[in-house]
Structure 1
Amino acid sequence: MQRTKMKKEMLFYVPELPQELILEILSWLPVKDLMRFRCLSKTWTTLMFHHAFVKLHLQRSSKNKHVLLSFYQYDNTVGDWNDASVAVAPCSIHGLLENPTSTINNCIRRFSKTNIVIGACNGLVCICGYFDDTDDYMKYWVRLWNPATRIMSQDSPHIVLFASDYENEPCYLGFGFGCDDSSGNYKVVVILLDVQSHKRETRVLTLGDSSWKKTLTCPLFPLLNQVVGQLVSGTLNWLALSRFGYGPYGYEWDTVTIDELVIFSYDLKNDTCRFLLMPHGLLEVPPCEPYLGVLKGCLCLSLDYKNTHFVVWLMREFGIQKSWTQILNVSYDHHQPRHCFPLKFMPLLMSENEDILLLADEGSQFVVYNLRDNRIDHTHGFNVQSYFYVSYDYVQSLTLPY
């Protein structure tokens, strides 16, 4: 009888661990588990969102990279691509490489068509909303969303662009989101086109501020059609043309020269800008506009070469032109049936050892490409019609969106 009583007492004995050890253990756990543990006590709830613990957990989580995909999804009941919704899916790299379709379906979230995903940083996703029911002005605002904790901020202060002052359609603007690591401030950047002065103007909203601030004005140059800037090394980057003073209503692609093709880079710390050059090996302008993305934290330039090859370049050291490396140059003829027009690909992610590249084509299909053997390993079809896939480096975190 005495032995049975001792066993019961031992079952209910929980040793009191040092708080430092508890923090160390918790900092390695996934966000999903930590969210469940909040119900244990108010103390634990407070702990989960203490800035020191959030920072420690983010440092640990950054070693477990994920990818955030954004794309437009077709609603079969509507029958009109103009009514496609914006879809967002934070995914594991392993899951995407093994089975893209089921991985995306398990974590997808949809937003209305009047939203644009403009970046991801430290587990936060920035979503820009806009109002366009008038010809006189456009109204923009942003919200920050943490997919792991499912917490979303309120709408930011609005930025209103009147047609008499600015070319206010989204296609004429540039949007970007990132963090100034030196201060820890999260910033949203909008690049505007002043139709009166023919100048580029940059407005910045710092998380927590009550208004947008003008930080930069420079001579007008064309941004290419890719609206969202790519976040690398504390900078936001857009493809552009170094053709100053050009008219406000665009450019003709067939008149562009290779020397004019550049990357406009905005420094989030210093609120300054510069132009980065194309790879030395890119000798002529591609038949259609290239795409600027990010693979493994590096700028990635993908393009069609003479409508016969798909080429991917990687800038291994940010801002260093000599570091551009061609990682893929594949003939369409060898990897797909002949069509009147080549199939267009979009690089989404690269494996840690850089031997596998996941591509999305213009339809609902994913291509897993073996870089080591220069061949397609397999393809996956997506069971819902979708288009224009964009990927962002992503980590699950406890970072609060406000």
Structure 2
Amino acid sequence: MMPELIKTRIELPEMLVLEILLKLHVKSLTRFRCVCKPWYSSFETHHFITKHYQNNLKNSNLNLLFKRCHGDTRDDIHYFSQLSTDKDQNFRVKQTIHLPVFENLVHAPSIYGPCKGILCLGDLGGIGNNVALWNPSNREFKILPQSKVQRPPGLLEFTSINCLGFGYASQTDDFKVVRFVTYYFEENLDEGLLADWTTQVELYSLKNDSWKEIPFPGVHAFASTLFNNYVNGFIYCHAVAVVHHILSFDMVNEKFLTSQLPEFGGTLEQYYLELLDFNGLLGAIFYPREGTDKSFDLWVMNGSWTKQLSVESILGVERPLGFWKNGELFLESSNQELVLFDPSIQELRNLGIHAYKETMHITAYVESLDPLNGRSENEECIIRRPAEGESN
């Protein structure tokens, strides 16, 4: 007679269980919410959300979102693609994503961020007022309310957003959006009707779910949409008053500050400038406006500006798109293909992904559980389609 099997149940300490759960992807945690009420409650706490994000950041668990136009002209439909970061299928298109909220925009929304895994989408330079926050990890989407800031009298209906920034105020645990809005109106002069304009600066708080007006800093600002320009509680953009300089915005104190550009040995008539977060510090990358034999200089602010990286003479590339995990640089080639340059071995790798010229935008983000108090992608009719069998 076989001895009766004795079933044992091993109880793991609660803290150990939570440490294990902290290492899981957001997709898995979303499913596990239904396992038990304590798990569901734990996933909602600020402590768990913050530690989960920090674990992903520490381990460089990056995801890639790619925006492009795949047609023959700039005015063809733009769309988003999720790229694989798995070692066996690195940078292959996994799925395409359609955002109907912005379907009336020819060039699709511009992307700002990421900030703690959250993206901000807006119509930079356009006449629409739609701005949205999106967490592509937990698939939550929030269309921001229309601003109720009082407008000057006599305005035309045409308005445009010419600068937008997105960041996080850690002291109040609040995501904020700042935007420069230009309004146009007509003046009756002796020689006839002329269009004039004025600019207001508006600040949105996710915690308050509302916009308010803040003082205009008196400069023309240009947001960087190629790189993340939120760094440690500040957002940065290129600004012009009498001279070129950097305009920063303190997310906690809600104040504008100015600082000098690095003395990079050229002029902004000759070089493009992009601002970015480089390992937790403000970075500025310069590259020539002319030619396809490009050089790239990266300067980093750590008390003072120092040159961090200099890449000389990469043949057949147009512009930088962003950095990858180990300092590799995504670039757009002269053939409108996505390429990856490794400065440590001076190697240029073609990734086989095509787009119409100057429509590529790549965003590397870390998974986050941060809630937006919005709606699910399904409720917003956002469509994700697998890319099996599709050409890159």
Residue 261 (structure 2) aligned to one of 278, 289, 310: 278
Determine the structure 2 residue equivalent to 1:310: 294
Tell me the alpha carbon deviations over residues 240-278 of structure 1, each in whole angstroms, 9 at most, x when there is no partner. Answer: 2232xxxxxxxxxxxxxxxx2222211111111222322
Determine the structure 2 residue equivalent to 1:331: 313
Contact 1:67 1:391 (C-alpha < 8 Å) held by counterparts: no
1:272 is aligned with what amino acid?
K
2:284 is aligned with what amino acid?
C
* Range that drifts further, 391-400 or 260-269: 391-400
Matches within 5 A, 1:3-402: 3=3, 5-6=4-5, 9-10=6-7, 13-65=8-60, 66-74=62-70, 76=71, 81-87=74-80, 89=82, 92=85, 99-100=90-91, 102=92, 105-111=93-99, 112-113=102-103, 114=105, 115-128=109-122, 138-153=127-142, 155-159=143-147, 164=155, 168-170=159-161, 173-193=162-182, 200-219=199-218, 221-224=219-222, 226=224, 230-243=229-242, 260-287=243-270, 289-297=272-280, 298-304=282-288, 307=291, 309-317=293-301, 320-323=303-306, 325=307, 327-331=309-313, 335-336=315-316, 343-352=317-326, 354=327, 356-361=328-333, 364-373=336-345, 375-383=346-354, 385=356, 387-402=358-373
Displacement of 1:123 in angstroms is 1.7
Tell me the alpha carbon deviations over residues 13-52 of structure 1, each in whole angstroms, 9 at most, x when there is no partner. Answer: 3222232222122112222222232232344333322333
Tell me the alpha carbon deviations over residues 129-171 of structure 1, each in whole angstroms, 9 at most, x when there is no partner. Answer: 6997xxxxx4524332221222223x2211377882797224x
SS in 1 for 2:133: strand
The runs of 5 or more residues in structure 1 that have no matched partner are: 133-137, 244-259, 337-342
Contact 1:67 1:349 (C-alpha < 8 Å) held by counterparts: no
Identity %: 21
Tell me the alpha carbon deviations over residues 225-253 of structure 1, each in whole angstroms, 9 at most, x when there is no partner. Answer: 7568721121111122232xxxxxxxxxx
CA separation of 1:211 and 1:302: change in aligned 2, threshold 3 A: same
1-side partners of 2:287 and 2:63: how far apart? 22
Task: Give the TM-score of the pair, scaled to structure 1.
Answer: 0.74
Contact 1:72 1:386 (C-alpha < 8 Å) held by counterparts: no
2:301 is aligned with what amino acid?
E
Determine the structure 2 residue equivalent to 1:250: none
Larger proportion of helix: 1
CA RMSD of aligned residues (A): 3.4
Contact 2:299 2:309 (C-alpha < 8 Å) held by counterparts: no
The runs of 5 or more residues in structure 2 that have no matched partner are: 186-195, 374-392
2-side partners of 1:377 and 1:178: how far apart? 33
1-side partners of 2:237 and 2:371: how far apart? 27
Displacement of 1:212 in angstroms is 0.6
CA separation of 1:391 and 1:263: change in aligned 2, threshold 3 A: farther
Displacement of 1:189 in angstroms is 0.9
2:342 is aligned with what amino acid?
N
Displacement of 1:371 in angstroms is 1.4
Larger proportion of strand: 2
2-side partners of 1:397 and 1:106: how far apart? 20
Tell me the alpha carbon deviations over residues 26-80 of structure 1, each in whole angstroms, 9 at most, x when there is no partner. Answer: 1122222222322323443333223332122122222133154442323x5xx65
1-side partners of 2:43 and 2:115: how far apart? 19
2-side partners of 1:30 and 1:81: how far apart? 36
Tell me the alpha carbon deviations over residues 171-227 of structure 1, each in whole angstroms, 9 at most, x when there is no partner. Answer: xx11111101222111011123466897653211110324211122232x3334756
CA separation of 1:307 and 1:203: change in aligned 2, threshold 3 A: same
SS in 1 for 2:253: coil
